[in-house]
């Protein structure tokens, strides 16, 4: 039993190696199927298993026309590579978030970016 339901979908995708291997190869190809956990691609030869990749899914059918159309980008890892196709599992990357200051040095005063004057005459104080 599979963890995620797969959907047959024929979308153009750019697959770029990101792990610093082999000069960051780029593959322009099409999906065979997609699930919430990853995607299967048709390709004569794909990246080796374990390769980290960045996927850019084009909603337009022609990648050259997709410049003006929305694109969806994901990070993944090749989990299976065989002649004719390879599979990529989506990898969720956590990004550290830095909270923006809501208050300045004085209680109740709005925050002022460093180096910007809050005085009407422009002088730093």
For every one of its 125 residues, what pLDDT tens digit does the chain have, with 9 covering 90 and above?
678 899 999 988 999 988 665 556 788 899 999 999 999 999 888 889 999 999 998 876 565 665 566 678 889 999 999 999 999 999 976 544 444 444 444 444 444 444 444 455 555 55
Pair 43, 85: CB distance under 8 Å: yes
Judge whether 99 lies within some domain: no
Judge whether 117 lies within some domain: no
SS3 66: helix
**What does pLDDT average to over the chain?**
74
The boundaries of the domain holding residue 26 are 7-60+67-91
Q: In this predicted model, what pLDDT tens digit does every residue of 94-107 receive, in sequence order?
A: 544 444 444 444 44
Count of domains forming the chain:
1
Rounded Cα distance between 72 and 22, Å, is 25
């Amino acid at each position: 039993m599979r963890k995620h339901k797969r959907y047959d979908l024929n979308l153009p995708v750019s697959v770029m190696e990101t792990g610093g291997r082999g000069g960051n190869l780029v593959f322009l190809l099409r999906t065979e199927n997609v699930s919430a956990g990853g995607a299967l691609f048709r390709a004569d030869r794909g990246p080796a298993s374990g390769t980290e990749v960045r996927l850019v899914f084009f909603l337009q059918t022609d990648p050259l026309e997709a410049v003006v159309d929305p694109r969806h980008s994901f990070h993944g890892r090749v989990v299976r590579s065989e002649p004719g196709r390879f599979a990529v599992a989506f990898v969720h990357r956590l990004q550290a978030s830095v909270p923006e200051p809501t208050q300045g040095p004085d209680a109740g005063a709005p925050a002022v970016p460093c180096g910007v004057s809050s005085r009407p005459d422009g002088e730093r104080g």
